[in-house]
């Protein structure tokens, strides 16, 4: 039996107030009230969420969140769902971006539509189980290997989206590696993909023989179909790679402020300070958002360096300070581009905090917004956040503060989306416990005070 209303007490809302407790009510899949409590409420009616099995949770109308943190559902703004979990079939011995591209392309024709679809379903549901509500995935479409090979990825992605629709939403941006010599072929393929349900125009112009022509084609296509643009940009540790400058010119020319996104921006971190500041100012002026991908950039970049190895992570703090919207995202998961990862946005947040030196108390809220409200704005997710009238898509985590979310990466998570509970996980540990004085037996986090 499903219910149409929930009242949850003793909720922590780290993005709103890291100290108080709130009562959150939901009806028909929407938030109807978010009210601050005077203090922690002890109620015999509300059931502690940590004590409920998943079936009990689905039918509970009165819940005690026990001081646990609630965040709006994560928005992972840059993934490669079609490549996820392909590592057993394709490796990367040098750990370079170039080898990853070459090796994946060499086996891409062998992946059936069913295999690609299964990988997308697996990766997206794993991400949903960790609390993601919306994903944006780039897709590999090697038209040069044959239209049928490229289209099978598009078809697999659209079929997978239907399968997981009850758990989360997915946006797709194929990586169109534009080739001027085959412009008609690329244009016809891209137009068909956009007509049948693809959400936007992707690409990697810095890898093109003619980045200017590649960008011009991408914007011509995007404006013809009224679609946003999201491009892999300057994924290189070479400071002379500055495709972002041309990207800004096109975004400005076509009026794409707020509809253009640049992923990676690795070369920005290798540039001289004055030049980096100039390009960052242009991004802010032209309204291009950025997505940092610290796990993958740390893994792939600087492979040719010795001693002082370039880390490849873009200038996160400087971009934010300039007013550029900056999100953090997963990128690749267990494939030749990145052998690790699991689609856990909190894990990505921790990587961002490390790589961007964002560990001050006041930085933690910014990092959490880079996983939630900022990527929601970048990806155009409407009515987002824990506020009356918005769709109720959220994750409850077994932590009591913003800092503890990144300190502990809590395994205990309860995910609500699409007007229902979709996932629940609880952590249990048994073993030795040291004897402590009675007054120290309960850790500070368990004390229900404001």
The residues spanned by each domain of the chain are 5-72+385-425, 74-358
Q: Which tokens is 81 given?
A: 């769902």
- pLDDT for the residue 207: 94
Other Cβ atoms closer than 10 A to 357: 12
Which of 75, 36, 264, 63 is CA-nearest to residue 170? 75
Give the helix ranges, DSSP H, for 360-426: 361-369, 373-379, 402-408
- Tens digit of each residue's pLDDT (9 = 90 or more) over 269-297: 999 999 999 999 999 999 999 999 999 99
Rg (CA), the chain: 23
Q: Residue 364 in 3-state DSSP?
A: helix
Long-range pairs for 427-436: beta carbons < 8 A, 24 or more residues apart: 427/398
Q: Residue 316 in 3-state DSSP?
A: helix
Please give the share of the chain, as a percent, with pLDDT higher than 70. 96
Burial of 196 (0-12, 13-18, 19+ CB in 10 A): exposed
Region at 389 (left for phi over 0; alpha for psi -120 to 50; beta for the rest): left
Taking a C-beta distance cutoff of 8 angstroms, is the pair 233, 280 a contact? no
Arithmetic mean of pLDDT, 226-244: 97
Please check the confidence at residue 268 and state whether its pLDDT lies above 60. Answer: yes
Other Cβ atoms closer than 10 A to 403: 16
pTM for the full model?
0.95
pLDDT band of residue 447 (cuts 50, 70, 90) is very low
- What's the CATH class of domain 5-72+385-425? mainly beta
Q: Which tokens is 90 given?
A: 């394709």
Please check the confidence at residue 441 and state whether its pLDDT lies above 70. Answer: no
Phi, psi of 245 (to 5 degrees): -65, -45
String of DSSP letters for 199-241: --EEE-GGGSS-HHHHHHHHHHHHHHHT--EEEEE--SS-TT-
Cα distance between residue 298 and residue 290, in whole Å: 17
String of DSSP letters for 176-202: ----GGGHHHHHHHHHHHHHTT---EE
Please check the confidence at residue 429 and state whether its pLDDT lies above 90. Answer: no
Q: Which tokens is 17 given?
A: 């107030």
Q: What is the CATH number of domain 74-358?
A: 3.20.20.140
Give Cα 145 to chain centroid, integer Å. Answer: 29
pLDDT band of residue 438 (cuts 50, 70, 90) is low
- Tens digit of each residue's pLDDT (9 = 90 or more) over 335-345: 999 999 999 99
Q: Which tokens is 180 given?
A: 């001027």
Cα distance between residue 234 and residue 259, in whole Å: 19
Other Cβ atoms closer than 10 A to 163: 14
- pLDDT for the residue 181: 87
Taking a C-beta distance cutoff of 8 angstroms, is the pair 405, 16 a contact? no
Other Cβ atoms closer than 10 A to 114: 11
Which of 239, 234, 205, 244 is CA-nearest to residue 310? 239
Which of 419, 449, 413, 371 is CA-nearest to residue 72? 371
Cα distance between residue 92 and residue 334, in whole Å: 11
Region at 334 (left for phi over 0; alpha for psi -120 to 50; beta for the rest): left
Strand-by-strand arrangement of the 260-264 sheet: 74-79, 132-140, 169-175, 201-203, 229-233, 260-264, 288-292, 326-328
Please check the confidence at residue 41 and state whether its pLDDT lies above 90. Answer: yes
Cα distance between residue 341 and residue 275, in whole Å: 33
């Amino acid at each position: 039996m499903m219910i149409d209303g929930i009242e949850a007490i003793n909720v922590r809302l780290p993005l709103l107030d890291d100290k108080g407790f709130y009562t959150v009510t939901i009806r028909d899949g929407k938030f109807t009230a978010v009210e601050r409590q005077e203090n922690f409420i002890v109620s015999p009616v509300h059931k502690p969420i940590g004590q409920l099995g998943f079936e009990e949770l689905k039918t509970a109308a009165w819940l005690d969140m026990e001081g646990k943190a609630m965040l709006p559902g994560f928005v992972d703004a840059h993934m490669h769902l079609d490549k996820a979990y392909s590592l057993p079939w394709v490796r990367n011995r040098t750990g370079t971006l170039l080898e990853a591209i070459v090796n994946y392309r060499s086996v891409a024709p062998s992946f059936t539509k069913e295999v690609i679809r299964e990988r997308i379903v697996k990766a997206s549901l794993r991400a949903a189980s960790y609390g993601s509500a919306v994903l944006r995935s780039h897709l590999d479409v090697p038209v040069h290997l044959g239209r049928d090979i490229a289209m099978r990825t598009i078809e697999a992605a659209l079929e997978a989206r239907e399968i997981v629709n009850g758990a989360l939403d997915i946006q797709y941006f194929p990586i169109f590696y534009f080739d001027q010599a085959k412009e008609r072929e690329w244009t016809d393929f891209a137009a068909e993909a956009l007509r049948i349900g693809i959400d936007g125009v992707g690409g990697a112009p810095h890898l093109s023989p003619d980045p200017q022509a590649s960008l011009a084609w991408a914007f011509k296509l995007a404006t013809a179909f009224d679609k946003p643009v999201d491009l892999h940009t300057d994924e290189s540790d070479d400071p002379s790679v500055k495709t972002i400058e041309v990207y800004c010119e096109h975004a400005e020319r076509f009026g794409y402020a707020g509809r253009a996104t640049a992923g990676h921006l690795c070369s920005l971190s290798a540039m001289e300070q004055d030049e980096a500041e100039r390009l960052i100012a242009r991004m802010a002026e032209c309204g291009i958002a950025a997505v940092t991908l610290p796990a993958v950039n740390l893994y792939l970049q600087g492979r040719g360096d010795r001693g002082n190895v370039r880390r490849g992570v873009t200038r996160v703090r400087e971009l934010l300070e300039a007013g550029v919207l900056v999100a953090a995202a997963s990128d690749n998961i267990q494939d030749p581009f990145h052998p690790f990862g699991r689609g856990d946005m909190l894990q990505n947040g921790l990587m961002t905090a490390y790589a961007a030196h964002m560990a001050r108390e006041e930085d933690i809220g910014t990092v959490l917004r880079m996983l939630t409200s900022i990527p929601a704005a970048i990806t155009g997710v409407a009515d987002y956040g824990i506020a009356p009238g918005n769709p109720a898509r959220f994750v409850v985590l077994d932590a009591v503060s913003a800092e503890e979310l990144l300190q502990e990466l809590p395994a205990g998570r309860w995910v609500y989306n699409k007007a229902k509970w979709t996932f629940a996980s609880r952590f249990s540990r048994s073993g030795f416990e040291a004897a402590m004085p009675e007054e120290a037996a309960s850790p500070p986090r368990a004390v229900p005070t404001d």
